[in-house]
Chain A
Amino acid sequence: MSARARLACALGWLVLLLAVGAWLSQTLSFSGDLRRFLPDPRTPEQTLLIDELGEGPGSRLLLVALHGADAQALAAQSQAMAATLAGDARFGFVANGADGGLDAIPERLRPYRYLLSPTLDAQALDADFLRAEIDQRVQDLGSPAGELIEPLLPSDPTLETLRLAEAWLPARAPQTLHEVWFDRAGGQALLLLETRAAGFDPDGQREAVEAIHAAYAAARGEGSGTIELSGPGAFADEIGTRTAREASWIGAIDSIGLVLLLLIAYRSWKIPLLGALPLASAGLAGMAALVLLFGDRVHGITIAFGFTLIGVVQDYPIHFFSQQRAGLSPWRGVRALWPTLATGVAATCIAYLTFLFSGVDGLRQLAVFTIVAMATAALCTRFVLPGLIDPAQRDVATSLRLQALWRRIERLPRPRWSLLVIALLALAVIAWRPGAFWQNDLAKLTPVPAPLLERDAQLRDELGAPDVRYVLTVQAGDAQAALQASERLRPTLDAMVEAGALDAYDMAARYLPSMETQRARQQALPSAGVLRDALDAALVDSPFRGDAFEDFLADVATARAASPLQPGDLDGTPLASTVEGLLVGGEGRATALVSLSGLHDVDAVARMAAANGARLLDMKAASESLVADYRARILGALALAALLLVATVWIALRSPRRALRVLLPMALTTLLVLALLRAIGVELTLFHLISLILAAGLGLDYALFFEHAGDSREDQLRTLHAVIVCSLMTLLVFSLLALSSIPVLRAIGSTVALGVLFNFVLSLLVSRAPGGQGAGEAMQAVLAPGSASIRSQDGAARTDAGRPESAA
C-alpha cells in the first residue's frame, strides 16, 4: 500500500468514526438519575431516601433569591415572576409568600373548610357559638383591617377559611415585606418553586431553570438586581454548564498539548492522527455497546467515569509507535509488542469483569463500557494501525539524549528494603492519620462545590424548610390507612411540642384529614333548617342585617352533602405537592411522613414513635449506610479484581519473580497515593477509587513494558521513550483536570496525576530488568528460539521480539 493509500485509509477510518459518533449522539440519551448509580436499597430508610432522591418533592424544589435592588423593586420582581411562572406547565407550584396563604384554598374547595378544619370537632355550630363569632366579626370590621375581612364574611362568619389558612402556614415562614417573602435581613426576596420534572432529569431541569431566568429577565426589565437559584435541579444545570465550559478549554489545551507532544516525539504529522484513532474507536465502541445492552438507561456518570478509565488506551498506539524503526515492518513490530499489550489489556479487562457482579446498574455499565473500549483499542492497535503507518525512518533508541538519560537511570540504585520501609510508612500514615477515612456524606457524591451547598442550606433555613435529617414515618396498606394512623399520632405529637421535645411538625393529615375524620365532621354539621334557626337566633340584636349570611348557609349545605376530599382532588392546588410530599407510596403500601422542625429531644421522639407504631428515620444514617454499602460492594469487587489481575499477570509471565516486579510498582503507588491523600486530610470518595483504578491500570502497563524490555539496551530505550510519552500525555490531561473548579474533577485529576508520577518512577526503578547480569542474559535472549531475528547494525546485537519467552 502506498503512503497515499494508507493516509486515505486512515482518513476513511476517521470519517467512519465521525459518522458513528453522529449516529450515537442522536441515539444515546443519558439518564441523570443518580439512583442508577446507587445499590438497591435494603432498609426502609434507604428505600425512602432513594425515592426522595429521584422523584421526591425535595429533589424537585428550586429555591430562588432576588437581590441587588431595593425591597420594593425586588417585591415587584417577585410578584411578576410568580405571575408568569404560575401559569407555566413545567412548574407544580410557585410560592413567594403573596396572598397570606388564603389562596392555598381554591374557591372550589372552600365549602370543604368545615371538613378540613378541626374547629367543629370540639364545638357545635349552634346559636351560642355563632353569636360569639358574629360579635367578634363586628370588632374585626371596626379594626384597621376591616376592609380585608369584609368580603369573606357573607359565606364565612366564623372565619374558618382564615383559621385553616393560618393553621396551614409553615411553623416558621419567612418574613413578608411588601407582601412577598424576604430573608431575615430583608435584602433578598425569596421564592420557592417545584418543577414537574424529576430532580435528576437534566433536560427537564434545564428547561425549568431557563424558564425562571426568562421570567426574571422580563420581570426585571431595565431595572437592577440579580437572581440566584439553588436546589438539585439548579445544581445539575450549573454543573452541566460549568463542565461544558471547562471541558472546552481543558479539551483545547489538551488537544494542542497532545498534538505537540506527539509531533516532537515522533517527528511525523500523521502520528497525532493515527494516535487518536484507537482511543476514538474505543470510546465509540464502548458507547455503542451501552446503547445495545442498556438502551436509554445509560447513565451520564458511566460515560464520564468510563472515559476517565479508558484514558489508559491512549498508551497502546504510543508503545507501538516507539517500537517502530527503520527496516522493521510495522506488522512484525506489533507482533513483538502484542504479548505484553495483550497481557495488560486482558488483566485489566478480567479485573473489570468483577464490576458486572456488583449489583449496581451504573457499575455494570461502567464494566461493559471499559471492557469493550479497551479491547477495541487493543485490537485496533494490533490489527489496523500497522497497515496505516508509514515505515519508520528513525529509531528512537538512537537518540543520544535518551541514551544519556538511560545511563543515568541505570546508575540509580535498585531499591529493595527502602521500598519496604516506604510501604510501611505509607501504611502507618493510612492507618493512623486521625480523621475519617471515607467520606460517607451522600451529598459529597454530587459534584456540587461546597459554597453552593452552603448557600442552599442557608436558603432552605430562610424558607423554613423542615429538618432534613430526621423524619417520622407511619406505614400502612393504603393512603387512607396511613392518613388515619398519622392522625392518631397528633395528640401525642402536640404533647411533645408542648413539652419542648420539638418545635413543630407537619403531616399530610394536617391539610387533608382522613375520609373517616371528614365523615365524622360532616355528621356533626347541622341540617339547613337547624342552622338557619341558629343563625337567626344569633343575629337578634346584632349590627348585621338578617340576610347577611345566606352564602354561609349554602356553603354548609354543600359541605354536608359533598363526598370527602381525597389526595387526588387536590391536583392543581398549592396543597397538592405538600400532601404528595408527605404521603408517599405505591401499589399496596403507603407511607405518611411527619416532618419535624426544631427537634430537641431525638430519643424522646424515637421512643414515642416506637410506642405508637411509627418509626423515627435518620436520613443521614440512611444515606451514610447506603454509601457505605455501595463502597463495600466496590471494594469487594476491587479485591476480587486485584486477585484476578495478579493471577492473570502471573499466568502470562509464568514466573512469580517477574509477576512481582510488574505488580509491585502499581501496588506501591496505590499505597503512596492513598497515604498522601490521607496525610493532607482528604476523605476518600468513589471518585478517588475510580482514579486509583485508572492509575493502577496505567502502572501495570508501564511495568509490563519495562519488564518486557528486558536488558536489551535498544528495547529499554524504546520502552523508556514510549513510557515517557505516555506518562507526559496522561500527566498533561489529568493535571489540567486538577485545575478544574469542580471538586470531583479536581479529585480525579490530582489523584491520577500523582498515580502517574509514582508509577513512572517506581516502574523504572523496580520493573526494569535486574542489572548486574549484563550481557549474559542479553545473549540468552538473542539466542533463544522463537521469533527473534538477529541483525547487526552499528555493531550492536538486538532482537526484534525482545524477550521471546514472554510470547504467549
Chain B
Amino acid sequence: MLKAPLRLSGEYRRPDATTLVREVRVPYSETTTIRDGHAILARAGKPERRFALSRAPELAALQTSFGALLSGDAAALRAHYTVDAQGTDARWSLRLRPRDAKLAQRLQDIVLYGGGEELRCIETTPAKGPAQRTLMAEAAQAALRAGDGADVAALCRGEHAAG
C-alpha cells in the first residue's frame, strides 16, 4: 500500500543494562524506550504513550534479541533463540530463530550480519511478508551516501563491503 519501501534512519542506544532506546530521526522523529517490561513511545507533537510489553510481543522480542546482543549476553540470547553462526571473522552472520512457538508464528528469524567487531545489519524476516533491515554503523553510512538508490539488501549482507 506504500509507494516505496519505508526507509528510516536513526539510532539504537543502550544507556544502561536494562534499557533499550530506539530513536528514529528521518523521515520522522520517534523515540521508543523499552525498560522494566514497559515501552514508552514518544512522537513529535504527541503525548507520550506507555504500554506493557506483554501487550506488544514484537517489542519484547526486540528487547530480548537486540538488547541481549548489545549487552553481550549470550546466555540470554540462547534462552530465547537458537543461534546459528556462519562465515569468517571478517564477514560473519548469526541466525536467530525464536524458541517461543508463539513468537515463531510471527517471526521467521533474525539474521545479524557483521565483520570483525562491528555489527553491520539486522535483517528481521516475519513469517509473512518481506524482510525488514536495520543497517548499522558503516553499512548505514554507506546507505546514506548512496541515497534513494541504495541496495539495502546488499548493504545489509555486506556484499558491497566484500565487493
Query: Contacting chain A: which of B55-63, B111-119, B150-158?
Result: B55-63
Contact assessment for B32 and A142 in the assembled complex, using a CB-CB cutoff below 8 Å: no
Cα separation A135 to B43 with both chains bound (whole Å): 11
Cα separation A548 to B62 with both chains bound (whole Å): 29
In this complex, which of A138, A142, A153 has the most chain B Cβ atoms within 10 angstroms of its Cβ? A142
Contact assessment for B43 and A136 in the assembled complex, using a CB-CB cutoff below 8 Å: yes
Contact assessment for A544 and B54 in the assembled complex, using a CB-CB cutoff below 8 Å: no
Contact assessment for A544 and B58 in the assembled complex, using a CB-CB cutoff below 8 Å: no
Question: CB < 8 Å: which of B4, B59, B128, B129 contacts A144?
Answer: B59
Cα separation A144 to B39 with both chains bound (whole Å): 12
Q: A135-B28, A146-B132, A147-B128 are in contact. Are A545 and B3 (CB under 8 A)?
A: yes
Tell me if A64 counts as interface (CB < 8 A to partner B): no
Q: A138-B6, A144-B62, A147-B126 are in contact. Are A545 and B57 (CB under 8 A)?
A: no
In this complex, which of B55, B106, B128 has the most chain A Cβ atoms within 10 angstroms of its Cβ? B55
Query: Contacting chain B: which of A173-181, A211-219, A472-480?
Result: A173-181
Tell me if A796 counts as interface (CB < 8 A to partner B): no
Cα separation A544 to B5 with both chains bound (whole Å): 10
Q: Which residues of chain A come closer than 8 Å to B126, judged between CB atoms?
A: 147
Q: Which residues of chain A come closer than 8 Å to B100, judged between CB atoms?
A: 72, 178
Contact assessment for A176 and B55 in the assembled complex, using a CB-CB cutoff below 8 Å: yes
Contact assessment for B3 and A177 in the assembled complex, using a CB-CB cutoff below 8 Å: no
- B69 shortest CB reach to chain A, Å: 15
Tell me if A139 counts as interface (CB < 8 A to partner B): yes
Contact assessment for B32 and A143 in the assembled complex, using a CB-CB cutoff below 8 Å: yes
- A542 shortest CB reach to chain B, Å: 8
Q: Which of A131-149 contact B (CB under 8 A)?
A: 135-136, 138-139, 141-148
Contact assessment for B24 and A543 in the assembled complex, using a CB-CB cutoff below 8 Å: no
Contact assessment for B2 and A175 in the assembled complex, using a CB-CB cutoff below 8 Å: no
Question: CB < 8 Å: which of A136, A141, A148 contacts B2?
Answer: A141
Q: Which residues of chain B come closer than 8 Å to A75, judged between CB atoms?
A: 102
- B131 shortest CB reach to chain A, Å: 11
Q: Which of B5-53 contact A (CB under 8 A)?
A: 6, 8, 22, 24, 27-28, 30, 32, 43, 46, 52
Q: A543-B2, A545-B2 are in contact. Are A175 and B52 (CB under 8 A)?
A: yes
Tell me if A581 counts as interface (CB < 8 A to partner B): no
Tell me if A100 counts as interface (CB < 8 A to partner B): yes
Q: A72-B100, A75-B102, A177-B54 are in contact. Are A544 and B28 (CB under 8 A)?
A: no
- B43 shortest CB reach to chain A, Å: 6
Size band of the interface chain B makes with A: 20 to 34
The interface bits of chain A over 110-148 (1 if a CB of B lies within 8 angstroms of the residue's CB, else 0) are: 000000000000000000000000011011011111111
Contact assessment for A139 and B30 in the assembled complex, using a CB-CB cutoff below 8 Å: yes
- B75 shortest CB reach to chain A, Å: 18
Q: A144-B62, A179-B102 are in contact. Are A548 and B1 (CB under 8 A)?
A: yes
The interface bits of chain B over 115-135 (1 if a CB of A lies within 8 angstroms of the residue's CB, else 0) are: 000000000101011001000
Tell me if A526 counts as interface (CB < 8 A to partner B): no
Contact assessment for A543 and B4 in the assembled complex, using a CB-CB cutoff below 8 Å: yes
Question: CB < 8 Å: which of A135, A153, A177, A543 contacts B6?
Answer: A543
- B141 shortest CB reach to chain A, Å: 20
Contact assessment for A138 and B28 in the assembled complex, using a CB-CB cutoff below 8 Å: yes
Q: Which residues of chain A come closer than 8 Å to B59, judged between CB atoms?
A: 144-145
Q: Which residues of chain A come closer than 8 Å to B62, judged between CB atoms?
A: 144
The interface bits of chain A over 533-549 (1 if a CB of B lies within 8 angstroms of the residue's CB, else 0) are: 00000000001110010
Q: Which residues of chain A come closer than 8 Å to B27, judged between CB atoms?
A: 138
Contact assessment for A175 and B28 in the assembled complex, using a CB-CB cutoff below 8 Å: no
Q: Which residues of chain B come closer than 8 Å to A176, judged between CB atoms?
A: 52, 54-55
Identity of the chain A residue whose Cβ is nearest the Cβ of B30 in the assembled complex: A139
- B4 shortest CB reach to chain A, Å: 7
Cα separation A139 to B28 with both chains bound (whole Å): 7
Tell me if A204 counts as interface (CB < 8 A to partner B): no
- B130 shortest CB reach to chain A, Å: 10
Contact assessment for B55 and A142 in the assembled complex, using a CB-CB cutoff below 8 Å: no
Tell me if A251 counts as interface (CB < 8 A to partner B): no
Contact assessment for A142 and B24 in the assembled complex, using a CB-CB cutoff below 8 Å: yes
Q: Which residues of chain B come closer than 8 Å to A743, judged between CB atoms?
A: none
Question: CB < 8 Å: which of B1, B8, B56 contacts A142?
Answer: B8
Cα separation A395 to B59 with both chains bound (whole Å): 91
Q: Which residues of chain B come closer than 8 Å to A178, judged between CB atoms?
A: 100, 102
- B42 shortest CB reach to chain A, Å: 11
Cα separation A100 to B1 with both chains bound (whole Å): 25
Q: Which residues of chain A come closer than 8 Å to B101, judged between CB atoms?
A: 72, 76
Q: Which residues of chain A come closer than 8 Å to B2, judged between CB atoms?
A: 141, 543-545, 548
Contact assessment for A544 and B30 in the assembled complex, using a CB-CB cutoff below 8 Å: no
Q: Which residues of chain B come closer than 8 Å to A548, judged between CB atoms?
A: 1-2
Identity of the chain A residue whose Cβ is nearest the Cβ of B130 in the assembled complex: A147
- A176 shortest CB reach to chain B, Å: 5
Q: Which residues of chain B come closer than 8 Å to A146, judged between CB atoms?
A: 132
- B6 shortest CB reach to chain A, Å: 5
Contact assessment for A139 and B43 in the assembled complex, using a CB-CB cutoff below 8 Å: yes
Tell me if A170 counts as interface (CB < 8 A to partner B): no
Q: Which residues of chain B come closer than 8 Å to A175, judged between CB atoms?
A: 52, 54
Tell me if A154 counts as interface (CB < 8 A to partner B): yes
Cα separation A177 to B55 with both chains bound (whole Å): 8
Contact assessment for B24 and A544 in the assembled complex, using a CB-CB cutoff below 8 Å: no
Q: Which residues of chain A come closer than 8 Å to B8, judged between CB atoms?
A: 142
- B1 shortest CB reach to chain A, Å: 4
Q: Which residues of chain B come closer than 8 Å to A148, judged between CB atoms?
A: 58
Contact assessment for B57 and A142 in the assembled complex, using a CB-CB cutoff below 8 Å: no
- B133 shortest CB reach to chain A, Å: 12
Question: CB < 8 Å: which of B3, B61, B128 contacts A543?
Answer: B3
Cα separation A759 to B59 with both chains bound (whole Å): 74
Q: Which residues of chain B come closer than 8 Å to A544, judged between CB atoms?
A: 1-3
Cα separation A100 to B128 with both chains bound (whole Å): 20
Cα separation A154 to B1 with both chains bound (whole Å): 8
Cα separation A144 to B41 with both chains bound (whole Å): 12
- A700 shortest CB reach to chain B, Å: 66
Cα separation A545 to B3 with both chains bound (whole Å): 5
- B135 shortest CB reach to chain A, Å: 14
Contact assessment for A147 and B106 in the assembled complex, using a CB-CB cutoff below 8 Å: yes
- A131 shortest CB reach to chain B, Å: 13
- B16 shortest CB reach to chain A, Å: 21
- A507 shortest CB reach to chain B, Å: 24
Question: CB < 8 Å: which of A141, A142, A144, A153 contacts B58?
Answer: A144
Cα separation A175 to B28 with both chains bound (whole Å): 32
Cα separation A136 to B55 with both chains bound (whole Å): 20
- B30 shortest CB reach to chain A, Å: 5
Contact assessment for B6 and A145 in the assembled complex, using a CB-CB cutoff below 8 Å: no
Q: Which of B81-126 contact A (CB under 8 A)?
A: 100-102, 106, 124, 126
Identity of the chain A residue whose Cβ is nearest the Cβ of B62 in the assembled complex: A144
Q: Which residues of chain A come closer than 8 Å to B132, judged between CB atoms?
A: 146
- B152 shortest CB reach to chain A, Å: 14
Cα separation A515 to B107 with both chains bound (whole Å): 43
Q: Which residues of chain B come closer than 8 Å to A147, judged between CB atoms?
A: 58, 106, 126, 128-129
Cα separation A544 to B102 with both chains bound (whole Å): 31
Q: Which residues of chain B come closer than 8 Å to A153, judged between CB atoms?
A: 1
Q: A138-B28, A139-B30, A178-B102 are in contact. Are A145 and B56 (CB under 8 A)?
A: yes
Cα separation A72 to B32 with both chains bound (whole Å): 27
Identity of the chain B residue whose Cβ is nearest the Cβ of A549 in the assembled complex: B1
Q: Which residues of chain B come closer than 8 Å to A177, judged between CB atoms?
A: 54
- A223 shortest CB reach to chain B, Å: 14
Cα separation A482 to B22 with both chains bound (whole Å): 48
Cα separation A476 to B2 with both chains bound (whole Å): 51
- B29 shortest CB reach to chain A, Å: 9
Cα separation A142 to B132 with both chains bound (whole Å): 9
Q: List 17 A-B contacts (CB under 8 A).
A: A72-B100, A135-B28, A136-B43, A136-B46, A138-B6, A139-B28, A144-B59, A144-B61, A144-B62, A145-B59, A148-B58, A175-B52, A176-B52, A177-B54, A179-B102, A544-B1, A545-B3
Additional A-B contact list (4), CB under 8 Å, known A138-B28, A142-B6: A139-B43, A141-B2, A144-B58, A150-B129
Pick the 8 closest A-B CB pairs, nearest first. Answer: A548-B1, A144-B58, A176-B54, A145-B58, A147-B126, A142-B8, A543-B2, A175-B54
